[in-house]
Every structure is written in structure tokens, then in C-alpha cells.
A and B are shown apart, each in its own frame.
Chain A
């Protein structure tokens, strides 16, 4: 069957993602921020589905929305809400933040204007059925080294966190 109402779904999911992204940084209550972030991640998973990447979409939901965000919420639930609501929400670094955001925006616009030829045309014939296999071949074949380095970095970060948190190991 042909996809139905793709334009509508794209703008719907994009709007959900962007709006909840804005909510993440504007809500005072950290639990609300976390919930908005979950919504943003789910919207992103929907966008992956629309790009014919079902595996990435599934993993996005399981890992980010269902795994990492649960841990975020776990930590937030232990924090005193009253205290965090009295604290200042934005610090004085907003000028630097604005500059960084502008630079990133300029980069995006530059890529959009100059690099149009880099992207494929309108339709990309993606093998949806073997999506998972394709990802595995790329990750463990062509990009094996980068992939293993990334997992090593994560391991170092975990060990660092344990060392910092525990006085006596």
C-alpha cells in the first residue's frame, strides 16, 4: 500500500518535536521538562519512520524515550522541586549561547543553500526490508573503528562517573 498523507504527518511530527523542544527549556518544573523531552524524542522517532528507517526509530524509542529518559526522571524525582523552582533558570552565559545558536543556524542555512547537490533527489530507493542488516553491515564493516572508539568513550565515561560518585570502590 502507498503511504497516506505523508506531508501532514511530516509537519505534524516536526511541529510536535519543535514545540516540545521549546517546552524543555522554558518549563520551570524539571519533571515537565523531562516529559516534554520524551515527547520530542518520540516525535523524532516518528520522523525516522517517515525516512524509512524503522530500526533507528525502534531503537530511538527503546533507548532514549524508554531507557535514558527513565533514568533522567529517576534523578529528577529525587531532587527537591521547590528548591529548583526558586533558582534562576537561565544564567549569564546567554550571549555565548546566542552566538553559538546563530553560528549553528548559519551553518544549517549554508549547508541548505550550498550543499543541495550533496543530498539525493526527491525519492531515495531505500531497502526498507533489510534496513537492520544494512545498518549492521555499515556499523560493523565500514565504520567499525569509529563505532568501537565511541563505545570505548562511553565505557570511560561510566568508569569516570563511578569513580567520582563513590569514595571507596
Chain B
């Protein structure tokens, strides 16, 4: 493949990935409102379009046309930059996430991901760890006590849970022997005894899976770890002073991060796009993407389900849980996995 084709293919893939991601973000908001509505015995959005399906469009139009208030007491450069940083980091991490096999169109062979790098997982972790700056700087630059408290909580919480999150993934890395997300998925192909798939969750990483999911909820500031925006104590936390599109950017960043977490959980623990393949060649090419999408949808649904079910942690409980329970569990899981792999080889 020469440079020109490479650039054209990359641009096409980037545009498609961004379009799909942003649509998914908009409809996760719709799904959340709908599902939480039904959990609370309400209907959720019903007015705009059938089943309220056009609600995201209406929301988007509203966000665009609302007055963009910038309070006089904020520190302006960072106040404007913070939501941009948040949404930028949230959208960047999709670039290394694969959604299916390598496809061949004409004589161009390309993997279904924007770029396949050999440190893919490290890049996702790095970008998500940079994502906290959006929240922290928003809190600081707003120059209001509620925002500042939200920003402080976010930075402390994300640094604490990042360690458990990273350690829970090391077991998977030991099993796969690579940082490339594609290689990790390929390592999970096949079945045990013909019917149990060789997903990492069935290869003894089930504890790691739950540690990852818990820590990821904390990383994305979702219930039960949504203390940075705890509305009963902090008005709206770090985005108290934001309105219109800047507020929407934080919203988009949060949902894009949720989707990244769901993608990573499917890729690392549930075998990525592996699933039964049947039918004509075209269907066989599309099915892996469908299986992957199904897993991502399941994780998004669980996110919403948890939100509709659990109350919020208290701050000291959050810290004690992260450091005194999650971290030792992650280390124990790592030691045991390493021992088993060492004995086996």
C-alpha cells in the first residue's frame, strides 16, 4: 500500500469511526433516559419522533442555540479549553480500538480500526488518564467552590482507581503476551472442549473482569462513583458554571468514555468480535462487527441498569473501597495469574 492510498483509507476510516461514535453517544443518552425511565416506572422521552427516537436531535439543536453564558469570575482561557480537552481525549481513544477482522475491499486490505499499533492498550490507558484534566481544569477555572470540589474529587478518584484498573488488565496481557488489542482478541479465538469459548473471562480472569468494570465506572464518573458531580451536595460539581454547547461537550465526553470502556471490556474479557459465523460471505464479513456491537450494547445497558439501581458512595467509602479492597484484589489476581502462566510454560 503506498502513502496516498494509506492516507485516503485512514481518512475514510476516521470519518466513519467518528460518525458512528458520535451517533452512538447521542443514542446512549436516549437509551439511558428511556431505560432509567422504565426502571422508575416512567416512559422517558416519547414526544419527538416514534419512541422519542429523534430526541437526541432535538437536544443537540437546543444545546447549539442556547445562550452560551460565561460567568465574569471564571479564568477564561482554561474555562473554554477544559470542555474541549475533555471531548478531545474522549474521542481520541477510539482510534486504536478494533471492531472486527481484517477486511479486503478490491485489492486494499485494511483492519477494521483506524490504526493497529503495538501498544494499543497503553495508548487507550494513557489517553483516558489524560482525560481527567478536562474535569480538573474545568473545576479549577470556574472559580467556584462547588466546581473546585468536583474537580478535586475527580482528580483524586481517577488517580486512585486508575491503579486498580491498570493492574486488573495485566492478567489479560500476561495471557495474550501483547499490548496490541488485535493480538489480545486473536488470543481468545477457539473453544474449550468444543463449547466454552476461550474468552479471557473463562480463562480465570473473571475477578479481573469485575475489578476492571468497577474501576472503569469510577474512571468515567458514573453512578455509584459520580461524586465529582454529586448534585445533592455540589449542585452539578465540575460543570456547575457551564452552559449550552460547553456543557454538552462534557456530556459527550462522558458518554464517549463509557463507550470506550464498553469496547475495552468486550475486547479484553469477552473475546472481542468472536462469535458463530454462518451464511453467505457478505454476512460472514458483517457478523463479527455485529457480535462486537452486541457486547458493547450489553455493557452500555449494564451501565444504565447500575445507574437506575445503586445509590452513591460516600467519599470515604469510595477511597477505602478503592485502596483497601480493589487494589489488593487486583494484585492478588495478578500474582495468581502470573504463577499459573509460569507453571504452565
Please judge, given known A-B contacts A1-B6, A4-B3, whether A58 and B126 are in contact too, CB under 8 Å.
yes
**Which residue from chain A places its CB closest to the CB of B2 in the assembled complex?**
A1
Residues 29-81 of A contacting B (Cβ, < 8 Å): 31, 38, 54-55, 57-59, 61-62, 65-67, 70-71, 73-74, 77-78
Chain A 114-155 near chain B by CB (<8 Å), digits 1 or 0: 000000000000001101100000000000000000000000
CA–CA, A132 and B156, complex, Å: 29
Determine whether the beta carbon of B152 is less than 8 Å from that of A77. Answer: yes
Q: Does B18 contact A (CB under 8 A)?
A: no
**Which residue from chain B places its CB closest to the CB of A31 in the assembled complex?**
B140
Determine whether the beta carbon of B126 is less than 8 Å from that of A70. Answer: no
Rounded to whole Å, the gap between the CB of B22 and the closest CB of chain A is 24
Chain B 128-144 near chain A by CB (<8 Å), digits 1 or 0: 11101100110110000
Q: Does B9 contact A (CB under 8 A)?
A: no
* B-chain residues with CB within 8 Å of residue A70 when the two chains form the complex: 129, 132-133, 136, 155, 158-159
Number of interface residues of B (CB under 8 A): 31
Determine whether the beta carbon of A77 is less than 8 Å from that of B151. Answer: yes
CA–CA, A2 and B140, complex, Å: 44
Determine whether the beta carbon of A65 is less than 8 Å from that of B155. Answer: no
Please judge, given known A-B contacts A1-B6, A58-B123, whether A77 and B139 are in contact too, CB under 8 Å.
yes
CA–CA, A146 and B97, complex, Å: 37
Please judge, given known A-B contacts A1-B6, A62-B126, A66-B129, whether A74 and B119 are in contact too, CB under 8 Å.
no
Number of interface residues of A (CB under 8 A): 24
Please judge, given known A-B contacts A58-B119, A67-B162, whether A74 and B125 are in contact too, CB under 8 Å.
no
* A-chain residues with CB within 8 Å of residue B244 when the two chains form the complex: none
Determine whether the beta carbon of A66 is less than 8 Å from that of B132. Answer: yes
* Interface residue ranges, A against B (CB under 8 Å): 1, 4, 31, 38, 54-55, 57-59, 61-62, 65-67, 70-71, 73-74, 77-78, 128-129, 131-132
* Interface residue ranges, B against A (CB under 8 Å): 1, 3, 6, 78, 117-119, 122-123, 125-130, 132-133, 136-137, 139-140, 148, 151-152, 155-156, 158-159, 162, 166, 179
- Please give 19 more A-B residue pairs, beta carbons under 8 A apart, in addition to A67-B129, A67-B162, A77-B155: A4-B3, A54-B118, A54-B122, A57-B119, A59-B122, A61-B130, A62-B129, A66-B162, A70-B136, A71-B159, A73-B133, A73-B140, A74-B155, A74-B156, A74-B159, A77-B139, A77-B140, A77-B148, A132-B119
